[in-house]
């Protein structure tokens, strides 16, 4: 899909709610300036991979790579550069849904924000597949994808604006713990995955998650065990092993410490 653009001969429309006129993903442009004094009569969301100059009727602003620009209906569209070629990913769309989504997520027309390319590329690819892959696109699916796109853009904008956000390395390790809590990770192994020394990793983890990495691992295991205990066909000893404990008595002790009840009491099982 890279280097792709498509304008629909007949815009894909769901009445006044949503209309999509065109989509481009990493379209390559030669050195140039695009200047449309009256815009294109719709909303244009455009992400730039290289440094460009943009305007929505006010001063021309030089924006760095990774800039998303939002133009509204009738708004002057000015973008590009004569210094070098550039790539952009974009969607021409219109309708009450777009207007309400931008307003709800505090994204203003004429605003340029710094985000990654992921939301635009991911959702525009899926939207294009949905509306071009069949004779009749599904309104609910397309509207949901458009909602996801705008919400993802707004979330990235908030992340950039919040100082001290959780470092990506810590988020990576947190996801590793949650998706593989049964694995017998050591503190050193988790620190290595994050790319930090053990002391620095432990301090940062506690700063952002209010507990040590091992405490977080135990918590993930206990919540996984509580879920598995809902299945009356599983024995408690089997569940202990599934969440990383060969010693059922140690597992029961930790479980009671966490939930205030032993596994058997928690699950409401009778003693056999």
The domain spanning residue 41 has which CATH number? Answer: 2.60.120.280
| Confidence class for position 1, pLDDT limits 50, 70, 90 | low
Q: What is the pLDDT of residues 95-115, one digit of tens each?
A: 999 999 999 999 999 999 999
pTM higher than 0.85 for the full model?
Answer: no
Alpha helices, DSSP H, located in 162-233: 168-179, 187-194, 198-209, 213-228
| Confidence class for position 272, pLDDT limits 50, 70, 90 | very low
Per-residue b or e along 233-262, where b marks 16 or more CB atoms closer than 10 Å to that residue's CB: eeebeebbeebbbeebeebbebbeebbeee
Q: Look at the chain and report how many structural domains it folds into.
A: 2
Last residue of a domain, one of 145, 161, 177: 161
35: containing domain: 4-161
| Confidence class for position 21, pLDDT limits 50, 70, 90 | very high
pLDDT at 232 over 70: yes
- Is residue 233 in some structural domain? yes
Same domain, 112 and 187: no
Of 227, 202, 229, 195, nearest in space to 216 by CA:
202
207 beta partners: none
Same domain, 110 and 197: no
Same domain, 14 and 141: yes
Cβ 254 vs Cβ 222: under 8 Å: yes
Same domain, 132 and 17: yes
Alpha-carbon distance values, 22 to 123, 193, 200 (Å): 14, 42, 48
Q: What is the pLDDT of residues 124-182, one digit of tens each?
A: 999 999 998 766 789 999 999 999 999 999 998 887 766 567 888 999 999 999 998 88
């Amino acid at each position: 899909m890279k280097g792709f653009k498509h304008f629909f001969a007949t815009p894909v429309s769901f009445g006044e709610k949503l209309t999509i006129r065109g989509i481009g993903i990493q379209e390559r442009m030669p050195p140039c300036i695009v200047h449309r004094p009256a815009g294109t009569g719709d909303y244009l969301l455009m992400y730039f991979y290289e440094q460009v100059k943009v305007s929505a009727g006010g001063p021309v602003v030089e924006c760095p790579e990774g800039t998303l620009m939002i133009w509204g209906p009738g708004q002057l569209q000015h973008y590009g550069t004569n210094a070098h070629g550039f790539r952009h990913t974009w969607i021409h769309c219109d309708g009450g849904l777009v207007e309400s989504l931008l307003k709800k997520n505090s994204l203003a027309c004429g605003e340029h924000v710094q985000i990654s390319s992921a939301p635009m590329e991911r959702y525009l690819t899926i939207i294009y597949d949905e509306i071009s892959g069949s004779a009749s696109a599904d309104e609910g699916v397309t509207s949901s994808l458009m909602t996801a796109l705008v919400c993802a853009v707004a979330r990235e904008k908030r992340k950039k604006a919040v100082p001290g956000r959780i470092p990506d390395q810590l988020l990576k390790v947190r996801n590793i713990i949650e998706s593989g809590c049964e694995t017998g990770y050591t503190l050193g192994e988790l620190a290595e995955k994050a790319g930090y020394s053990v002391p620095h990793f432990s301090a940062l983890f506690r700063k952002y998650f209010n507990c040590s990495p091992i405490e977080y691992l135990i918590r993930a295991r206990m919540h996984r065990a509580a879920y598995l205990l809902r299945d009356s066909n599983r024995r408690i000893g089997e569940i202990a092993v599934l969440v990383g404990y060969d010693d059922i008595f140690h597992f029961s002790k930790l479980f009671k410490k966490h939930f205030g009840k032993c596994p058997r009491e928690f699950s409401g099982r009778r003693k056999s």
